[in-house]
Structure 1
Amino acid sequence: MPDFDALICLKSADSAVLPYAIEGIQAHAKPRIITIIAARSTIAQCQSLPHARHLRYIDEDTLYSGLSLERIQSILARRIHDTERAGWYLQQFLKMAYASYKLIGGRGRYRI
């Protein structure tokens, strides 16, 4: 039995390749579970995947209070007058929030 989980931060523009990513991860890495962090609307589209066993979904707006794409865009606009990389920063913060949740033993804001 594998002793690790896989994590995917997914934006809607990449949801078309998700089935291939899941297939590859399950075939080659064989994690216990694959957790997908995405917007609620993207999750709704992905939950109908035929090979969605061993998947968990987390709404990115509920993972960490106050963390959202809009908030990061606002901060970047104020500080550097450019929001082009906001999605990349959101992905990094989502991964840190998820890791923080896992490290403190499940006493975080979201529930799986």
Structure 2
Amino acid sequence: MSQNDSKREVACTLTEEQEAERREEVRARLVDHYLGYEEHENGVVVRFDGTDESLEALAEFTSNELQCCSFAEYEIAVSPPYEETRLTVTGPDGTTEMFQDGFVDRLDVESA
């Protein structure tokens, strides 16, 4: 982590209404594709199936997240044999907790 990373504030700028809309979007577009996650020191890796639908939904989700959680870095990875798509979210201290509490936990609950 660079010195600049530690200076970025971990905060989401969504209003309560926007957050409710985002929760619904995640439920509607990503839950059925969710496979699990791995926690890392500075973020999370969230695994989804390798379908075109999950890739498109993740790309849209990530584009939206860039607007409200600009402190984080996002990476979507798709590798042969294309059975899985991974979204890696990293950032300064607090990123892991924020995305686990606000994103991963929601996927876990909704997919159960």
Q: What is the TM-score normalised by the length of structure 2?
A: 0.24
The structure that has the greater radius of gyration is 1
Q: What is the TM-score normalised by the length of structure 1?
A: 0.24
Q: Which has the larger strand fraction? A: 2
Structure number with higher relative contact order (C-alpha < 8 Å, ≥ 6 residues apart): 2
